[in-house]
Structure 1
Amino acid sequence: MQKHLNTRPKTNMLIAILCFVFAGLQSSATETDTTQVIEIGGIKQYISISGEAPGKPVLFYLHGGPGTAVSAHKDVVTGELEKYFTVVHWDQRGSGKTLQMNETTAPPTFDQMKKDAEELLNFICNRFTTDKIIVLGNSWGTLPAFHLAQRYPEKIRALIAVSPVVSNLRSQQITLELLQYYFEKQENSKAIQQLSDVNIPDSGAKEMLIQYRWESEYNGEGMSDEQFDQLLHYFQDWEKMWFPLYSELYKNDLERSAGSIKCPVYFIVGKKDLTTYFKITEAYFHKLKAPEKQLFWMEDVGHNIPGIAADKMQKTIIEYIVPLLNLSETIK
């Protein structure tokens, strides 16, 4: 089943791209709004625990990127959810406060990130003395989230996948072809020239940013040369840590690796998402086997839903997904 949600957010392209490099039910917690440093995967890792209602279901938020922790501005991303859930934010290996607490010697690998996520899942269940939690993954974060749902479905009440990365390779290939065709029809020589220099898989951050620039233009948001240069400086620093992991993602395809999930799965997808091409996401949704699944569309929104439409994302979860999970008696 699919639902269409109308939203026309005021977007800020710089914030959007920086937020994504291209997000038993009862808790026994007696404290909220706290932080912890725990040892996961042999290093210190940072989590924050927030919520205005102790004893509510636990929601584990897996941020996007890779490398863009959101705990520092969690009030914007999950502030409304914290009225209904105990929300756990985790600054993943190499990100945010976890990065600050550790000397980084090598870029993280996908296997490391999946193992870290497994340890966090078990820690959260023990910390809150609960059999099941809700996992919310955004963009890159959907990959470890789907891994958890496959490996530990008995511990996950539901998986909420926001802008899921189904197949980075197929998505980027189709989007590049779409953009090249569109700008050729528009006779935009600058776009045609720059896009001709892009190869999929990308060889570096500059190619990634060129494609994102013209995705933004296609969706009605221009990017000046000055803005491009500013973002390129950021991405050149980002790629030193994260490009090896990002390159690994080209090998991942959820249609092959996660054809079935043994827990409820809910997608929240932007109708203008070209970063993880929305039609590939829709096709995967229809093929996915799950005991319960629904797809919620956000009109006039691209990839970075937590960055440009966090209020709409949270409203969708509270008004549509919570009733499906029969949480009415615990969320009041």
Structure 2
Amino acid sequence: MKQTVLKTFIQALIIGMVFSACTSTKKIKTSSGISEINYLEINERKQYVLIRGKDINNPILLFLHGGPGASATALLRKFNHELEDDFTVVYWDQRGSGKSFSKHITKEEITVENYIQDLEWLVGYLKTRFEKEKVFLVGHSWGSRLGMYAIQRNPENYTAFVGIGQELHAYRGELLSYQYTLEKAEEMGHKKALKELEEMGPPQSGQYKDMYATGFWGVVRQKHWLLKLGGERYQKTNYTDWILSIWFSREYSFADLIKYGKGSAFSAGNIILDEKFNDIDFFKEIPTVEVPVYFISGAYDYNTPWELVKEYVEHMTAPHKEFILFEKSGHSPVFEEPEKFNDEIRRIFKANN
């Protein structure tokens, strides 16, 4: 009896430790290094900001993750931590994302404008604290869209901008993505995918016909088949390895992984109610920028089709612009070819300083 009680107690203790374990970040031991976890009050919401770098005097690199709601902190720490040698890297879990998720956040505040204002606040904070005139801005997927809004509004704040899996055009982007998925389903003879995709039909003005009837089910189903049919990741058809990377991250606990899932669903499910999120056409809205821009796409990216990104680069005007194609990547070259990506980031920054 005593052994049973003891065993139950130990099991409960282990489960409790897994769920509520304190997270930390590995200390950087250089004399001028920085490794700190912050919860900053950004526009009345506490938001998680991790800052790391071997020399506090290095330039600031601010990364904008995708989603909205898909924090990239754990993956960046695993795949791109070498950038901390050259930059003071700022990892930010945006409003409602990852460790910034809270049950007190309302669906009404998940808007494009709020994310832009949060970013502007954070950039101002970083410039003041580290006494820098400019920030090197990098954005992935949704974060690439957020980054474009930022450099359009306040170009004086940024050294350069790197967009990864750049979002550009709601209608054309989703249509190309749908057509690619349908063609692959036909090519592979995947009957279930074909049935669902044909029933769903192509997106109308960037939206699927049942999007508002059932949340964002239409786009979720299309992206499900896109991943399964090879248009999201290079030679992979799931996210299991990345989920495990988040779970076993030093900065994230298992409880944080649960928050990650809740925040991702909450943010993505509510941002579509914002008209500004759905009606996007950077060919018309942002044909010109005053900051050097670099767009990195994967050759297997049909989430934000790389052909459309290349076309935009040819169309737009900027002090300097480049389209860079990673041959062994899908939508996330930053994590799929990290060494090549890290080298590109160093090259790009050097070219602008």
> Taking structure 1 as the reference length, what is the TM-score of the superposition?
0.79
CA 1:132–1:256 in structure 2 vs 1: closer, same or farther (change >3 Å)? same
2:76–2:335 Cα contact (<8 Å) kept = no
1:272-283 equivalent positions in 2, closer than 5 A: 272-283=300-311
What CA distance in whole angstroms lies between the structure 2 residues aligned with 1:145 and 1:185? 36
CA 1:69–1:295 in structure 2 vs 1: closer, same or farther (change >3 Å)? same
Partner residue in 1 for 2:271: 245
Partner residue in 1 for 2:222: 211
2:288–2:318 Cα contact (<8 Å) kept = yes
Structure 1 letter corresponding to 2:268 = W
What CA distance in whole angstroms lies between the structure 2 residues aligned with 1:188 and 1:90? 39
What CA distance in whole angstroms lies between the structure 2 residues aligned with 1:243 and 1:317? 32
Partner residue in 2 for 1:64: 66
Partner residue in 2 for 1:20: none
**Structure 1 residue 305, shift from structure 2 partner:** 2.3
The answer to whether 1:323 aligns with 2:325 is: no
**Structure 1 residue 30, shift from structure 2 partner:** 5.0
1:132–1:155 Cα contact (<8 Å) kept = yes
Partner residue in 2 for 1:162: 164
CA 1:192–1:61 in structure 2 vs 1: closer, same or farther (change >3 Å)? same
What CA distance in whole angstroms lies between the structure 2 residues aligned with 1:82 and 1:236? 29
1:149–1:261 Cα contact (<8 Å) kept = yes
Higher relative contact order (CA 8 A, sep 6+): 1
When the two chains are superposed, the root-mean-square deviation of aligned CA atoms in Å is: 2.5
1:137–1:162 Cα contact (<8 Å) kept = yes
1:104-115 equivalent positions in 2, closer than 5 A: 104-107=105-108, 108-115=110-117
Q: Deviations over 1:193-251 (max 9, x none)?
A: 0111335213144332332233234325456xxxxxxxxxx989844442231454321
Q: Deviations over 1:269-309 (max 9, x none)?
A: 11111000111111111111100111111002110223323
What CA distance in whole angstroms lies between the structure 1 residues aligned with 2:47 and 2:340? 30
2:314 is matched with which residue: 286, 291, 296?
Answer: 286
1:265 is matched with which residue: 293, 296, 299?
Answer: 293
The answer to whether 1:178 aligns with 2:180 is: yes
**Structure 1 residue 311, shift from structure 2 partner:** 2.9
1:76-225 equivalent positions in 2, closer than 5 A: 76-100=78-102, 103-107=104-108, 108-199=110-201, 200=203, 201-202=207-208, 203=211, 204-219=215-230, 221-222=236-237
CA 1:193–1:104 in structure 2 vs 1: closer, same or farther (change >3 Å)? same
CA 1:212–1:35 in structure 2 vs 1: closer, same or farther (change >3 Å)? same
1:53 is matched with which residue: 49, 52, 55?
Answer: 55
Q: Deviations over 1:118-165 (max 9, x none)?
A: 111111111111111100111110112111101111110100111111
1:197–1:207 Cα contact (<8 Å) kept = no
Unpaired runs of 5+ residues, structure 2, are 1-30, 239-259
1:40 is matched with which residue: 36, 42, 62?
Answer: 42
Bigger Rg, which one:
2
Aligned residues: 287
What CA distance in whole angstroms lies between the structure 1 residues aligned with 2:127 and 2:155? 13
